[in-house]
Amino acid sequence: MVVYDTFSTNGIRAEDVNAYLIITCEGEKVSSAPIKQTSNPEMNFSVIFYRRSPESKPINIDVWHKSLVMDDFIGRVSLRHPQMIENQIQELALTSKKDKDTPINSGSLIISTSNNRNLMAY
């Protein structure tokens, strides 16, 4: 089981954005509500995933800008199992959808992560 909460971004764009997250884990998707008109949004948002095969597939966290016509992709963080350190706050560089290893120039995502095999811990 993996718990993520208290997401924030750092330096995603020069202008204000209406940022929201889409988190994908083993075929399940969860979206946050947009945080309006800020360049460094902080999202008091928690999500719990029960993982069947944590070593095989990464968890993708996509940052989007909500607009009236069409939403814009800002960046992605892909977390593989070794990166998911128990009870730690991490700041990870945003990457593009295609090249997950090369950071893009649109900031970083700060997340609080905890792992636990005990379902009663939460």
> Could you give the CA distance from residue 35 to residue 18 in angstroms, rounded to a whole number?
5
Hey, which CATH number is domain 2-121, 3.40.630.30, 2.60.40.150, 3.40.109.10, 3.40.50.80?
Answer: 2.60.40.150
pLDDT at 122 over 80: no
pLDDT of residue 101: 64
Q: Which residue did the predictor score with more confidence, 91 or 6?
A: 91
pLDDT at 71 over 90: yes
pLDDT of residue 62: 92
pLDDT of residue 81: 67
Name residues whose C-beta falls within 8 Å of residue 62's C-beta, 6 or more positions apart in sequence. 21, 22, 23, 24, 73, 75, 76, 97
* Rounded (10°) CA dihedral 37, 42, 47, 53: 100
What does the pLDDT average to over 3-12? 74
pLDDT of residue 11: 78
| Whole-Å CA distances, 33 to 8, 21, 103 | 13, 8, 25
Instruction: Give residue limits of the domains in the chain.
Output: 2-121
Q: Which residue did the predictor score with more confidence, 99 or 66?
A: 66
pLDDT of residue 14: 60
99-115: pLDDT as tens digits: 666 666 668 888 887 76
Other Cβ atoms within 10 Å of 99 Cβ, number: 10
11-60: pLDDT as tens digits: 776 677 888 999 998 888 999 999 887 778 888 888 888 777 777 788 89
